[in-house]
Structure 1
Amino acid sequence: MSGCNENVRAGQVRRAVAGEGLPAIEPGMPLPAGTGMTRRSLLLGGAGLALTVFGGRMLAPEAFAEGVAAASASSADAPVIVSVFLSGGVDGIALLPPVTDPRYTPSLRPTLWVDPAGTLALRGSTAMRWHPSATAFKDLHDRGRLTLFPAIGYTNANGSHFTSRHFYEVGATDPDGVTGWLGRWLDVVGEDHNPVQGFTVGQTLSPSMATARVAVAAAESPQQYDFTTPGVYGGWHQELLRGYERLGTLTSSDPVLGAARAMHRDAADLRRSLSAPLGSGADGYPGNRLGSRLRDMARLLGVGLPIRAAAVDAHADFDTHAGQGDTFPEQIDECGRALAAFQADLEARGIADRVLTVIWSEFGRRPDENGSGGTDHGAGGVAFVMGTRVRGGIEGEFPGLQSLDGEGNLLPTTDFRALYASILEQWVDADAEALIPGAAGFARYALLR
């Protein structure tokens, strides 16, 4: 087992449903944003999308249908932010070996040192190169589809998975933060009755999407958006759909029956608004969870679902305290191929110019290899921004291994809040200072062409 106990506990706690509250967390660890949000479930198709809706006021069936229809029209060309979380703390020093740094030697990393002769050239740098398994990352970067931040984080880094991830999710170093950085943006621009505007592909809502005002949603695995019943075809199928819709028009004072009928109405209304099937998705994705979820994300965007912000957890355990050399190459290869397939899919669908993907992890790893052939929690890590409209290249300096922080960790040269502020201002024309605490004090990066 490569991960630490805390990372396992973090995953267990965050699998709890936010609308029902979360299990007790160890003293000093923050509650995930979104704790306590109310939720309801909608069944969107007999073999389709089982949607869990979080937050906002109770959605009336008519208002829900009208809101989704209006949002679909208004969001046709609206920019989308997709957040991809690489859980566990990616080892940026392994992903981007600092081959010219005098401290980067086999004595620093006896089993994890990467011979420069086997690394891949990094466009725009001679100080760093790509890990041999990062071919997909390299190709995206070479094509100008990927901007790299080689040392991102925040001062006085917290080495807790819980806490550091929480900071990134709420967009502030605030352990008491209750809304996500994307959720606050949705509270400003979102529709009252469009829960899919903030969409998590997964069983539970991403805390980065937690709102205070508008509804957001999560779904694990959308299949085909349609109502299907085995053995019922043609005219009989159409009659079944009409009956399903009529059932939703009935009212009831019974709290269970009334809610069930309202969900029938919601589902039927959304079916009319978004009747195009999702299809099977593009080829080329790896068979891991990230690949599957990104394929579904591209399908949902491809049929015009009115999504403004989306979140995906890769569930690729980069918490490599032991045996990192055995797992890291495969993880980087699979994650890179999933991201490259997603970008290619968006481009093939003709919607890539609308989508900006930010890829992040809660921290980096320590420069020194530990005694178990792994690396421990560090500070400065890596992040990426991907899309057809990004400038590409490298933003922020790699600080080198000569001057580390007081814990012996890589110093961050980019604050994650500076990245968020740049995305909000340049991609969605938002007031970053109203959404990211202290944004006025952070640098900005020119992200777009």
Structure 2
Amino acid sequence: MHRSCDEFTRASAARSGRATAGDGLPAIEPGMPLPAGTGMTRRSLLLGGAGLALTIFGGRALAPQAFAEGLDAAAAAAPDAPVIVSVFLSGGVDSIALLAPVEDPRYTRALRPSLFVEPAATLPASGTTAMRWHPSAAAFKELHDRGRLTVFPAIGYEHANGSHFTSRHFYEVGATDPDSATGWLGRYLDIVGEDHNPVQGFTVGPTLSPSLASARVAVAAAEAPQAYDFVSPGIEGGPFKDELVRGHAAIGRLTSTDPVLGPARAMHRDAADLRAALSAPLPGTSVSYPAGRLGQRLRDVVRLLAAGLPIRCATVDATADFDTHAGQRDTFTEQIAEAGAALAAFQADLESRPGLADRVLTIAWSEFGRRPEENGSAGTDHGAGGVGFLLGTRVRGGWVGEFPGLSRLDVEGNLLPTSDFRALYASVIEQWMGQDAAQVIPEAARFQRYALLR
């Protein structure tokens, strides 16, 4: 039976349920960092029949009319702006299972009694004979073969931290700094973003991704962006619904110095403005996505972009569980097949819409890899040297960094990283976003730049 470690379970529950970036989050255990964005000001706008909401974080006062005007101005100013999508594959993907090092003499059944994959059952990987894809990774292979996927087979950082919570925090803030309070994408938006465009940094999910935590501009999160609406019991549509909407807008236009009524009325106006901005139905899709939350959320990202919303950065948590300490074989097979299918459908959907795919670059990442040696429960424990991906029509494809081999490991017996996540971020910021990485990534000059685009 598959089992996750207690820390991963606590961290996932905290981030997805009782703690949002705006609510503040106590340390899960002493010494673990608070997520970026803890303590951010938030305003929740109820917009759906099942308690769905858009939650706006940060930014300045979001003056009533500026909200809608900000969306319109941002869309008009940057219709072709580059977009980055961050996909978190939570739990720690086993890079050795995904890309079997078939030519390494230490990759044997002695190392992995139940997790060893016979080379004959694996799938060939373009550009190398040293590694081969897991049998369930056909979607990853197809993207890579087409030059749509760049693979980082051992990405990470020196002296890797084995805590889910801490290592994820480092990736989210773009530095190995437990005290950083803003995310790397949030800092980018603070440079190029608008005060009153909360969808410029957008999490499709119930809580804001800490990587979007900003210091200056507004960002937002919503679980179901296709369901924005006002609801009232017994009023489904027609003239009564129209009056309900007009009433919300009218309430929002009233002013008050009362510390309760004033913000409440402003929220009504913001909600009315948002509904007006999103009144047109979101475009549909002809692409078939796999069942599951990742496919659903990635489909929503494409539909929002296709509708012309001025999104610059979007984040999605796969809510997978790659933390496979026990019974890994079946769980990994299912999870990696779903992740690959969702990413492939997302890319196909983007490419089916003229002009959109060339604007979107996707980073898929996990907080660390797994230990090379199988444990006593037919699983793997926390390691280093994880796997990462860059997806899009303009990526160079191929590989960044080599597989480090199983004969020379770190002091903990884990894979040595051959690429650094901060170098990846710095390269993306400069080559894709057109900004100086030194403004976003601490000590950016320390890290090499990878040639990522063609």
- Aligned pair in 2 of structure 1 residues 390, 255: CA closer, same or farther (>3 Å)? same
1:21 maps to a residue whose letter is G
- The reply to whether residue 2 of structure 1 matches residue 3 of structure 2 is yes
- The reply to whether residue 306 of structure 1 matches residue 297 of structure 2 is no
- The reply to whether residue 335 of structure 1 matches residue 339 of structure 2 is yes
Superposed, 1:29-428 pairs within 5 Å as 29-44=32-47, 50-225=53-228, 238=242, 240-350=244-354, 351-428=356-433
Moved more, 354-363 or 278-287: 278-287
Cα shift at 1:18: 2.4
> Are 1:224 and 1:278, in contact at CA under 8 Å, matched by a contact in 2?
no
* CA distance in 2 between partners of 1:20 and 1:233 (Å): 34
> Are 1:13 and 1:23, in contact at CA under 8 Å, matched by a contact in 2?
no
TM-score by length of 2: 0.94
The superposition leaves residues 234-268 of structure 1 with CA deviations (integer Å, 9 ceiling, x where unpaired) of: 66655554444333222234444433332222122
* CA distance in 1 between partners of 2:344 and 2:369 (Å): 22
- Aligned pair in 2 of structure 1 residues 74, 235: CA closer, same or farther (>3 Å)? same
The superposition leaves residues 301-321 of structure 1 with CA deviations (integer Å, 9 ceiling, x where unpaired) of: 111111111111101100001
Where does structure 1 lack aligned partners over 5 or more consecutive residues? none
> Are 2:405 and 2:415, in contact at CA under 8 Å, matched by a contact in 1?
yes
The superposition leaves residues 284-316 of structure 1 with CA deviations (integer Å, 9 ceiling, x where unpaired) of: 111111111111111111111111111111011
The superposition leaves residues 398-432 of structure 1 with CA deviations (integer Å, 9 ceiling, x where unpaired) of: 11111111111110000110000010000010110
> Are 2:47 and 2:227, in contact at CA under 8 Å, matched by a contact in 1?
no
> Are 2:154 and 2:403, in contact at CA under 8 Å, matched by a contact in 1?
yes
Structure 2 counterpart SS, 1:406: coil
Structure 1 counterpart SS, 2:381: coil
The superposition leaves residues 157-186 of structure 1 with CA deviations (integer Å, 9 ceiling, x where unpaired) of: 111111111111110011111111111101
* CA distance in 2 between partners of 1:373 and 1:22 (Å): 34
* CA distance in 2 between partners of 1:104 and 1:24 (Å): 38
TM-score by length of 1: 0.95
> Are 2:85 and 2:362, in contact at CA under 8 Å, matched by a contact in 1?
yes
> Are 2:283 and 2:306, in contact at CA under 8 Å, matched by a contact in 1?
no
Where does structure 2 lack aligned partners over 5 or more consecutive residues? none
Moved more, 240-249 or 112-121: 240-249
Cα shift at 1:148: 0.4
Structure 2 counterpart SS, 1:151: strand
Cα shift at 1:227: 5.5
The superposition leaves residues 357-413 of structure 1 with CA deviations (integer Å, 9 ceiling, x where unpaired) of: 000000001111111100111110100000111111111111111111111111000
- The reply to whether residue 433 of structure 1 matches residue 438 of structure 2 is yes
* Identical columns (%): 74
> Are 2:424 and 2:450, in contact at CA under 8 Å, matched by a contact in 1?
yes
- Aligned pair in 2 of structure 1 residues 38, 205: CA closer, same or farther (>3 Å)? same
Cα shift at 1:228: 7.2
How many residues are matched?
Answer: 449
Cα shift at 1:442: 1.1
Structure 1 counterpart SS, 2:220: strand
* CA distance in 2 between partners of 1:226 and 1:98 (Å): 51
